[in-house]
Amino acid sequence: MRVIDICLKDLAEMLGDRRILLFLVGMPLVFTLFMGFAYRSGTEGEAEVSLIELGWVDAGTEGALSHALYEMVSEMEGIHLVDLSQDTATAAKAAASGWRQVADEKVRSGSLNGVLLVAPGYSDRSADASPQSPVLITDQSTAEGRALVQAVRIPIARVASAAEIARLVASESGDTGWDISAFESALAAWGRAGSPGLVRLAAQEDTGEAWYGDNPYNMASPGILVMFAIMALVTSANVLLAERKAGTLARMATTSLTRWQILLGHALGMFAITLMQVLLLVVFGQVVLGVDYAREPLATLLISLALSLWVGGLGLTIGILANDDSQVVLFALLAMFILSALGGTWFPLDLVGGAFAAIGRASPSGQAMSGYQDILIRGSGLSAVWQPVGIMVAWALGFSALAWWLFRRIRV
């Protein structure tokens, strides 16, 4: 019961100041409206075609098969095929380090979404030949990479099947090679079958819909929600610091309360104030902004609870580490800026990719954003949020364990 008393006391202190209410509620609402307007304004009137950049390398002697594959891929809508061998500097670099290394560097740097490597001997279809199939170098963690994997699979299979038909026709006449006329006839039949890929990459207008759906507040609402949940640590951590400075914690320690009960009471207060703020912003997003959190209410609640848990654990750590008010503000601001940027609260992590996106997705803020976006943008259900919830709970336990370790070593 005394643990609950500590929690209620902290809540009374934080909610009793109107300026704090303005900070916890008013500012997030204003920022949410502003960011949603900015996202919408940034995409209005744009009609640029978004193409997937695919590099092409024929490492062997160009033949009928590689030529046919090149033609098929180059005709696919939504793909811009770039022959890397035509670039003198790139070709010179490949001569020194190999095309595979050059392709890896192109994809890692983001200059190309993928590179299709045609191995030497690909067009050699003699009876005893076992040429290597073309290899696609891409980052499958990106939407473009996954699209390329699906897109190039079909033209590669079509060329291979046409070559096999040509070989079988040639073998009927005792030839050990393959019949070029049969190969061309098979390709023509594939051409009459329709698009060169069952996964058709239609060039899309870059309207921004791909990353926030049909409502810009699908990005702005959860982003500002997560950011200000962290920013609110300035308030909750200050309550713990004020008790340390005033000697209240020392007096509590002389009672029958144990240290873990004292810490748990403050942790519950931080969790409760964060959860109230988060749920209020969720309701505002649902009712005023049309953000459909209620489509999966249980999933939304689980993400909000897990978010409040790790923010509360982080608040405990800051409240114990800081020695004065300025340090609380400094630590909270550092946490807010770093975790907000890493977690993709200002921009989708899919737009940056690479190591930054990988680190961001592993962060607790990144997991919170992923959970909310699974519900709002990707249309996922309850099953999709268990992983981000579990990871955020693990972060909460880690922050809480650190706070407990520090609390046992300070003089209250």
- The two tokens of residue 263 are 């810490």
Q: Are 265 and 10 in contact (CB under 8 A)?
A: yes
What's the rounded Cα separation, in Å, for the pair 293 and 46? 28
What's the rounded Cα separation, in Å, for the pair 56 and 63? 15
Looking at residue 393, its pLDDT comes to 96
pLDDT tens digits in sequence order for the chain, 412 residues long? 678 888 887 778 777 767 776 767 777 778 777 777 766 655 454 444 467 889 888 876 667 778 888 888 888 878 888 888 888 888 888 888 888 898 898 888 888 999 988 887 776 655 444 557 888 899 888 888 888 888 888 888 888 887 777 777 777 766 656 667 777 777 777 665 555 444 444 444 444 444 556 677 888 889 889 998 888 888 878 888 887 777 777 777 777 778 788 888 888 988 998 999 999 999 988 988 888 899 899 999 999 999 999 999 999 999 888 888 888 889 988 999 999 989 888 888 877 767 888 898 899 999 999 999 888 887 888 888 999 999 999 999 999 999 889 888 776 5
- The two tokens of residue 340 are 């907000």
Looking at residue 390, its pLDDT comes to 95
Looking at residue 245, its pLDDT comes to 78
Beta bridge partners of 82: 55
Q: Are residues 37 and 63 in the same domain?
A: no
Residue at a domain's end among 174, 205, 236: 205
Q: Are residues 237 and 373 in the same domain?
A: yes
Q: Are residues 195 and 331 in the same domain?
A: no
Looking at residue 381, its pLDDT comes to 84
Looking at residue 76, its pLDDT comes to 82
Looking at residue 178, its pLDDT comes to 65
- Residue 357 is part of which domain span? 2-43+211-409
Q: Are residues 196 and 229 in the same domain?
A: no
Beta bridge partners of 83: 56
Would you tell me how many other CB atoms lie within 10 Å of the CB of residue 254?
8
Beta pairing, strands 135-138 & 114-118 = antiparallel
What's the rounded Cα separation, in Å, for the pair 155 and 137? 16
- The two tokens of residue 118 are 């045609």
In which residue are the tokens 């890692």 written?
Answer: 108
Beta pairing, strands 52-58 & 79-83 = parallel
In which residue are the tokens 């900070």 written?
Answer: 23
In this structure, the chain runs to a length of 412
Residue at a domain's end among 148, 170, 205: 205
Looking at residue 207, its pLDDT comes to 42
What's the rounded Cα separation, in Å, for the pair 204 and 290? 25
Looking at residue 197, its pLDDT comes to 45
Note the pLDDT tens digit of each residue in 150-205: 888 888 888 888 777 777 777 776 665 666 777 777 777 766 555 544 444 444 44
Q: Are residues 257 and 327 in the same domain?
A: yes
Closest CA to 73 of 115, 131, 132: 115
First-to-last C-alpha distance (Å) of the chain:
22
Looking at residue 61, its pLDDT comes to 62
Looking at residue 345, its pLDDT comes to 86
- The count of structural domains within the chain is 2
What's the rounded Cα separation, in Å, for the pair 307 and 303? 6
Q: Are residues 60 and 185 in the same domain?
A: yes
92: which DSSP letter?
H
Which residues have a Cβ under 8 Å from the Cβ of 238 and sit 6 or more positions away? Answer: 319, 325, 328
Residue 245 half-sphere exposure toward CB, CA atoms < 13 A: 13
- The two tokens of residue 30 are 């204003």
Looking at residue 121, its pLDDT comes to 72
Q: Are residues 277 and 190 in the same domain?
A: no
Which residues have a Cβ under 8 Å from the Cβ of 312 and sit 6 or more positions away? Answer: 236, 267, 268, 270, 271, 274, 396
Q: Are residues 255 and 380 in the same domain?
A: yes
What's the rounded Cα separation, in Å, for the pair 372 and 99? 41
Looking at residue 193, its pLDDT comes to 52
Q: Are residues 136 and 171 in the same domain?
A: yes
Q: Are residues 156 and 304 in the same domain?
A: no
199: which DSSP letter?
S
Q: Are residues 188 and 60 in the same domain?
A: yes
Q: Are residues 248 and 361 in the same domain?
A: yes
